[in-house]
Structure 1
Amino acid sequence: MHPRNPYRIPPDFKELALKFPEFRKHAKQKLSGKIEIDFKDAAAVRALSTVLLKRDFNLEVELPPDRLVPTLPLRLNYLLWVEDLLQLAKPPTEQLVHGIDIGTGACCIYPILAARMKGWHFTATETDEVNFKCSVDTLERNCLQTHVTVVKVSAESMLHGNIDTTKQYDFTMCNPPFFDSDSFGPKSRSEKRPSPMCPKSGGSTSATEIAVKGGEVKFIETLIKECHELKPCVRLFTTMVGHKSSLVPIKAFLKEAGACSWNETEFCQGRTTRWGLAWTFCDNIVLANPPLSRRKNNVKGPPPLNYSISREQWSSKGEFSVACVLLKSVELLNSLKMEIRKVKEKKDRKAVEFIAKENTWSNQRRRQREEKRIANQGFEQPELKKAKIDAATLEQQNNHKFRLKGLLLVEETDADFISLQLQWIEGGLGRESMNQILQYMKNHLLEK
């Protein structure tokens, strides 16, 4: 999952059930106390998407019962990948982003998310009357008409006649029907394995949304041909791909069409994997190595940094519990001017996500020594000396793009020990930043 995807940490279903009655009726409590929903139940998936859009993006959406339910982790993975690619395709001095969503679906999901999160502008096309009316209603309900225009089009063309070719567009995106209407059903990776039901979860769809004559390969081949003719007004073309086996023939079509550069990636959300394919006909844009590529499954990320505290070490601090250790740890992170977000809650295991927009932890010991020396001497430090102390972080503090994101996990390992784990997610100086923050916590966590 993309590092900036907010659903890297799954939503708390218990919290959603308490806050939203429409979700509560689909929530079921297991004997262990864990709250779950049936992801094969379209109504439950629809309720989940609706309440997450409301809670996390302030978007009021009503999804029709007989159309495809947009699952947010996948949609956000696609949007965030497009944002990464735009860093390669779009000069940083240009602020306005205008995209095209081909077949926008029941609620214009990509455009409304991008408009709300990024302020992007969209032209969204749709052939289905129900989807078109629902998308128009969604835009009006959320006052997004100035950012998104929905166009009712015929199924005969994807781009021709559907967009204003006098304008310049930054990208297209598309979530094509994955299956062949002549041989309906997903491909099985082995002849011995039975073909799974389609779709696997949240199976409330119309046939035209998930199946088309020739399947996704034929659909995207047609799209590539239209893209080639519209290359003067669109910088970057992208599409989602449902089957990994489709990538080889589609890339052969791209080569035949004369694409200057193309790139693929994976969108992995739990048990579901999709693929993204991007290409361009602009010879000044290189998509060979995008800013973000999903690591292969056999490549492990850096292990978390660990620090263990014993009951004896904590004796002077009061109650020895996960909650108390987490509270003190959060106080230290707050002292470093970090933004804290609670992500997990259990009696013996708690976690928070933290975000820093400036480096406030480097050279802490040197700063403390200088502050102590100044206090003891009773006079102000010379300006030149101050500058030397702050030099290590001045550049990052002046850089408004600096950002570090990490995860703190506090867990009871046994009755007499509690462990702290710091996991780097993105930004900063990577593991080096985590090491510095952990060292700061070690120096101050057991202070009286």
Structure 2
Amino acid sequence: MNSSLMHPRNPYRIPPDFKELALKFPEFRKHAKQKLSGKIEIDFKDAAAVRALSTVLLKRDFNLQVELPPDRLVPTLPLRLNYLLWVEDLLLFAKPSTEQIVRGIDIGTGACCIYPILAARMKGWHFTATEADETNHKCSLETIERNCLQTHVTIIKVTAESMLNGNIDTTQLYDFTMCNPPFFDSDNFVPKSRSDKRPLPMCPKSGGSASASEIAVKGGEVKFIEKLIKESQEVKSCVRLFTTMVGHKSSVAPIKALLQEAGASSWNETEFYQGRTTRWGLAWTFCDNIALANLPQIRPKNNGKGPPPLTYTVSRERWTSKGDFTVTSVLFKTVELLICLKMEFRKVKDKKDKKAVEFIARANTWSNQRRKLREGKRLLEQGSDQPQAKKAKIDSDTHVQQKERSFYLKGLILVEETGKDSISLQLQWIEGGLGRESMNQILQYMKNNLFEK
């Protein structure tokens, strides 16, 4: 499983600790199994186990109380978050609409309206969610009420024949649409296999519990999305961006041809990686002032392993004067340095022998620290007013930079016990800055100010 190819802001780039979940949530514990090595795992082919995993992660990480019916599709969170975060990237690139509130449409919201509740909880977005299935509609309404999200999410019961027409308020301007279409053709329910002796399953391998309408439709996903494209032409005056997930790579080319035929002004495609599963995303617009084709890739394409993290080994001998030689102590001192550099951070892994934090830098505060200190000291000794003017210039530059981009650099720090007398400090670049070079600079700063003093 290569989680490093997930969206850079996806919190599940570091997989959840199943042992921790099993200890905290009895409903998950009954599905957890311990291997001879001591590792805790679940059977991802067991829909009940995947359902339990999704519900406890929603509860722990997003404070969302969700009950998933046993005969409906189980939303796997890494994939859903990859899609949501990509939509956020599209909105940032296209620049926000004149209104402050972000408004989206979820076509076929499913049993717990997963996209709207995640977006409402994480981003404060507002959603109109449509659903044709009676069970899904009822469960989604209950989910919204249970989590007190009625002010942000509206669920509309619709017919299966219409996706957008007649289902939305055309006097309202919407920022985007989302759609997770049925991937398979109901006339040929079992997908074609490379070998007739090995037919592929009708459902996804993970959480293979779903109603037929959720995973199959007459003509398959290309026909479904073709209809969505036609309806998007009719409501293009009130929707800025249209998006959909695609389940098969072979569907991407014919769908792009349909977009060109429909007169879309621009479109963009991406890939969603999560575990061993890959899905695709397509976005299009009829707005001439939005050039989706120019959207920069925010993560590397799937060309194998990404760049390895920078690693520095902290020895017990060098740490003697700094207190206890533990992972907790090393991480604490490291976080103190992040605070000195005016960085924000959040804990993403917390075990006795392995801890990790993700950090965000709003500006470059670590480069040429020694030179800056010497210059400041020299100017102070001269009694000059120059430092204040220089500071004002730096503040102005930083303000412009923050205005153009909400962050400068994102990275991950992992502290891990590697032996009785050694602890490994790893710095992994996620996004922004000068890439790996920025991580090199931060590591050098840490070495100068902590590990080699």
Query: Structure 2-normalised TM-score?
Result: 0.89
Distance 1:19 1:168, change over 3 A: same
Q: Show the counterpart of 2:3.
A: none
Describe how 1:15-94 pairs up with structure 2 within 5 A. Answer: 15-91=20-96, 93-94=98-99
Distance 1:345 1:96, change over 3 A: closer
Q: Show the counterpart of 1:209.
A: 214
Distance 1:302 1:382, change over 3 A: farther
Q: Show the counterpart of 1:383.
A: 385
Describe how 1:396-415 pairs up with structure 2 within 5 A. Answer: 396=398, 399=402, 401-412=406-417
SS in 2 for 1:313: helix
Residue type of the alignment partner of 1:395: D
Structure 2 residues not aligned, in runs of 5+:
1-5
Distance 1:420 1:390 in 2: 35
Residue type of the alignment partner of 1:194: R
How far does residue 244 in structure 1 lie from its aligned partner after superposition? 0.3
Distance 1:397 1:169 in 2: 30
Distance 1:121 1:260, change over 3 A: same
Distance 1:270 1:347 in 2: 26
Is 1:359–1:397's contact at 8 Å kept on the other side of the alignment? no
* 1:221-253 CA distance string (max 9 Å, x none): 111111112222222111110000011111121
Distance 1:295 1:193, change over 3 A: farther
- 2:286 counterpart (278, 281, 289): 281
- 1:183 counterpart (161, 181, 188): 188
Distance 1:150 1:322, change over 3 A: closer
Q: Which region of structure 1 is more displaced relative to structure 2, 292-301 or 215-224?
A: 292-301
Give the aligned CA root-mean-square deviation in angstroms.
2.7
Distance 2:197 2:312 in 1: 46
Is 1:267–1:276's contact at 8 Å kept on the other side of the alignment? yes
Residue type of the alignment partner of 1:333: L
* 1:79-111 CA distance string (max 9 Å, x none): 111111122334465422211111000011111
Distance 1:330 1:282, change over 3 A: closer
Is 2:97–2:175's contact at 8 Å kept on the other side of the alignment? no
Residue type of the alignment partner of 1:262: W
Distance 1:431 1:145 in 2: 44
Q: How many residues align?
A: 444
Distance 2:448 2:97 in 1: 41
Distance 1:77 1:439, change over 3 A: same
SS in 2 for 1:64: coil
- 1:255 counterpart (257, 260, 275): 260
SS in 2 for 1:145: coil
Is 1:107–1:135's contact at 8 Å kept on the other side of the alignment? yes
Q: Show the counterpart of 2:102.
A: 97
Is 2:82–2:272's contact at 8 Å kept on the other side of the alignment? yes
Distance 1:328 1:424, change over 3 A: same
- 1:116 counterpart (107, 113, 121): 121
* 1:154-180 CA distance string (max 9 Å, x none): 111111211122222221111010011
SS in 2 for 1:52: helix
Distance 1:134 1:258, change over 3 A: same
How far does residue 361 in structure 1 lie from its aligned partner after superposition? 2.4
SS in 2 for 1:23: helix
Is 1:306–1:422's contact at 8 Å kept on the other side of the alignment? yes
Distance 1:319 1:111 in 2: 46
Distance 2:277 2:299 in 1: 14
Q: Show the counterpart of 1:364.
A: 369
How far does residue 289 in structure 1 lie from its aligned partner after superposition? 2.8
Query: Structure 1-normalised TM-score?
Result: 0.90
SS in 2 for 1:54: helix
Structure 1 residues not aligned, in runs of 5+:
none
How far does residue 331 in structure 1 lie from its aligned partner after superposition? 3.3
SS in 1 for 2:311: strand
Distance 1:62 1:416, change over 3 A: closer
Residue type of the alignment partner of 1:81: W
SS in 1 for 2:438: helix
Residue type of the alignment partner of 1:288: A
Describe how 1:150-299 pairs up with structure 2 within 5 A. Answer: 150-188=155-193, 190-191=194-195, 194-197=198-201, 198-292=203-297, 294-298=299-303
Q: Which region of structure 1 is more displaced relative to structure 2, 324-333 or 249-258?
A: 324-333
Is 2:58–2:65's contact at 8 Å kept on the other side of the alignment? yes
Is 1:396–1:402's contact at 8 Å kept on the other side of the alignment? no
Distance 2:366 2:300 in 1: 29
SS in 1 for 2:448: helix
Distance 1:169 1:355 in 2: 30
Is 2:133 aligned against 1:128? yes
How far does residue 321 in structure 1 lie from its aligned partner after superposition? 5.0
Distance 2:129 2:324 in 1: 57
Q: Which region of structure 1 is more displaced relative to structure 2, 173-182 or 88-97?
A: 88-97
Is 2:145 aligned against 1:140? yes
Distance 2:30 2:345 in 1: 31
Q: Show the counterpart of 1:343.
A: 348
How far does residue 420 in structure 1 lie from its aligned partner after superposition? 2.4
Distance 1:329 1:390 in 2: 29
SS in 2 for 1:405: strand
How far does residue 303 in structure 1 lie from its aligned partner after superposition? 3.8
Is 1:90–1:170's contact at 8 Å kept on the other side of the alignment? no
